[in-house]
Structure 1
Amino acid sequence: MTMMVNRTSAPAVRERSQGVGAGPGRRGRLAQWLFVAPAVLYMLVFFGYPLVRNVVMSFQDYTPATYFTGEAPFTGLENWWAVLTDELFASSLWHTLLFTVGSLVGQFTIGMALALFFSRRFPLSGVMRSLLLLPWLIPMVVAGTVWRRVLDQETGVVNEALQGLGVVSSAIPWLSSPDHALISVILVNIWIGIPFNMVILYGGLQEIPREVREAALLDGAGPFRAFFGVILPMMKPVVTVVLVLGFMSTVKILDLILALTNGGPAHATETLGTYTYQLSFLQLDFGQGAVVGNVLILISMVFAVIYLRANRDGLEERR
């Protein structure tokens, strides 16, 4: 009789123990979802809905009248065809490419040079690094307005200095000539983005043991060979993150270009960002403006995936 009780009670005890253990697990998962729910809700409301709404709008005839009538008839691919076959879209895409690549190359090159310079300790290095952060802290509109005055053809400081030094004989139309405007905007954006590159790359340099750099120099490697053969490969995760983040922030710049040239002269500085602004807020064609916005989103999403993969690979290499 005792043996029968033990045999029947053992599974029951086992079931009760499993039931007790499963309860906290379910409650733990529920608690995890409750903690994540506000962030998920925030992403859906402030990112998911606008993204979906923008995609839908690109297939509609969405005009200011829609806000009063509520009618936005679907036009199929008409908006996409009108934008993608527009010559201004092609030139804007080309200007965006030139602006982004030129800015990234200049910001990274000068930022890396400054990071290497400040990696050697010397008096007042901290003060100088702090001062170099100022361009990064200034709002884009303010920086663009100041540089517009600095680069003015008639009263700008740059032209007065170049003419005073005898470098040029006549004033250069930095922002009023189609041949110079895009280069000028790129140079201003390089000036703004140098501090970000310098700070991140400087932090990456600090992660490299000083003994490694000294060993490379002792083995007979010159400064350039030590940099390209030892330092740069070890900084690959940091460099990748800097370039991808720089791309994602540069490709969609709008306020700086509006403050400097407003996309002119003769659309010489028209990028995808200013093009969608022109369509949506000046021509009030929200459907076509949404098309250009979706193109920018697609480009940013591609490089967002690259950033996430680079960040994951960097974490795995550190482990």
Structure 2
Amino acid sequence: MGTKRIGGRAHLWMFVPAILLLSVFIYFPVVRGISIAFMRYTMLDLSQTRFNGFDNFTAIFTNPNIKFTQIIFNTAVWVFISLAGQFILGFTLALLLRKPFRGRGIYTGFVFYTWALSGFAIGLVWSWLFNGQFGIINDLLMKTGIINTPIGFLSNPRYAMASVIIANIWYGIPFFAIMLLAALQSVPRELYESAEIDGAGKPRQLFQVTIPYIQSTITSTVLLRFMWIMNFPDIIYGMTGGGPANATNILATEMINKIMKAYDFGQGAAVGFIIITILFVFAFFYLRIVARKELTL
């Protein structure tokens, strides 16, 4: 009995390093950030640091220079269009890579390599491609006769958001391709053979065999990618910095601007608190809807 108790306690002590790491690098920063969101905390005047209730949120919502509704709209467009494009193209790529072919390993390595690159570096590369004066995209469009004069993709509010979304879709395709390809390779061949015997074609097999079988992987990858895109200002900062005229300014870039340009940690933390709240609400309802659909299947 004594040996079993000691062994049980020893197992509990093994959790201590993990709990300490999570507390120091995740839980404490989150709690501290939430507390700062309700404080007047500006680096321009630290002597006036104090609790100010909802003043930071009021200042964000009523800012006459940067409309909060525009930021929310930009964030929604940025997240949902990027997510849809990455999922559709990533899933298509995974389906194409599922069957072996000559040189598949090399081709797969080149496709997945982009996922290892820095998002900010990707933004800089695409800013060069979309450059209005000497960008490759303008050059190709003019040589093919589609346009007569260069387009300021990143300087024109009409095209800026579409430009950064294209770059973000390109960057996120490998993530879905990697995750969904691994899931597709686990689908038993017998299921497809049974579907073929029942007269099911390829489209029917996709929607009645493949997608239901990898539904859990799709659910987790979509949720994770939603969170990452919501908190992924790297490409936008590398290409537009949130401009022009706030056309690409999302919640994540606004949070950085509050901290790095206005030196207002209180308002920056308030924007971060809004992001956390949106992610929590989305994850809660998303998982409930998905669980309800799985129960009805």
Question: Structure 1-normalised TM-score?
Answer: 0.85
1:249 to 224, 228, 234: 228
> Counterparts in 2 of 1:266-305, with a 5 A limit?
266-302=245-281
Between stretches 154-163 and 304-313, larger displacement belongs to 304-313
Deviation at 1:306, TM superposition (A): 7.3
Q: Distance in 2 between matches of 1:276 and 1:311?
A: 31
1:77 to 46, 54, 58: 54
Deviation at 1:66, TM superposition (A): 5.6
Deviation at 1:30, TM superposition (A): 2.1
- The CA RMSD over aligned residues, in Å, is 2.2
- Amino acid of the structure 1 residue aligned with 2:213: M
Deviation at 1:205, TM superposition (A): 0.6
Query: Cα distance 1:304–1:66, how it changes in 2: closer, same or farther (>3 A)?
Result: farther
- Asked if structure 2 preserves the Cα contact closer than 8 Å seen for 1:151 and 1:175, the reply is yes
Q: Structure 1: where are the runs of 5+ without partners?
A: 1-20, 314-319
| Residue equivalent to 2:3 | 24
- Asked if structure 2 preserves the Cα contact closer than 8 Å seen for 1:240 and 1:310, the reply is no
Percent identity between the two aligned chains: 36
Q: Distance in 2 between matches of 1:162 and 1:81?
A: 46
> Counterparts in 2 of 1:127-166, with a 5 A limit?
127-166=106-145
- Is the aligned partner of 1:188 residue 2:167? yes
- Amino acid of the structure 2 residue aligned with 1:230: V
Q: Distance in 2 between matches of 1:262 and 1:65?
A: 23
- Amino acid of the structure 1 residue aligned with 2:70: S
Cα shift readout 1:248-289 (whole Å, capped 9, x = no counterpart): 111011221111000000000000000111111111111111
| Residue equivalent to 1:18 | none
Number of residue pairs the alignment of both structures matches: 290
Query: Cα distance 1:44–1:312, how it changes in 2: closer, same or farther (>3 A)?
Result: farther
Runs of 4+ in structure 1 deviating by more than 6 angstroms, as ranges, are 306-313
- Asked if structure 2 preserves the Cα contact closer than 8 Å seen for 1:244 and 1:306, the reply is no
Query: Cα distance 1:302–1:35, how it changes in 2: closer, same or farther (>3 A)?
Result: farther
Q: Distance in 2 between matches of 1:208 and 1:98?
A: 34
| Residue equivalent to 1:317 | none
- Asked if structure 2 preserves the Cα contact closer than 8 Å seen for 1:140 and 1:256, the reply is yes
> Counterparts in 2 of 1:54-65, with a 5 A limit?
54-65=33-44
Q: Distance in 1 between matches of 2:178 and 2:290?
A: 18
| Residue equivalent to 1:89 | 68
| Residue equivalent to 1:227 | 206
| Residue equivalent to 2:178 | 199
Deviation at 1:213, TM superposition (A): 1.9
Q: Distance in 2 between matches of 1:46 and 1:279?
A: 22
| Residue equivalent to 1:15 | none
SS at match of 1:179: helix
Q: Over alpha carbons, which structure has the higher Rg?
A: 1
| Residue equivalent to 1:13 | none
Higher relative contact order (CA 8 A, sep 6+): 2
Q: Distance in 2 between matches of 1:269 and 1:50?
A: 28
| Residue equivalent to 2:244 | 265
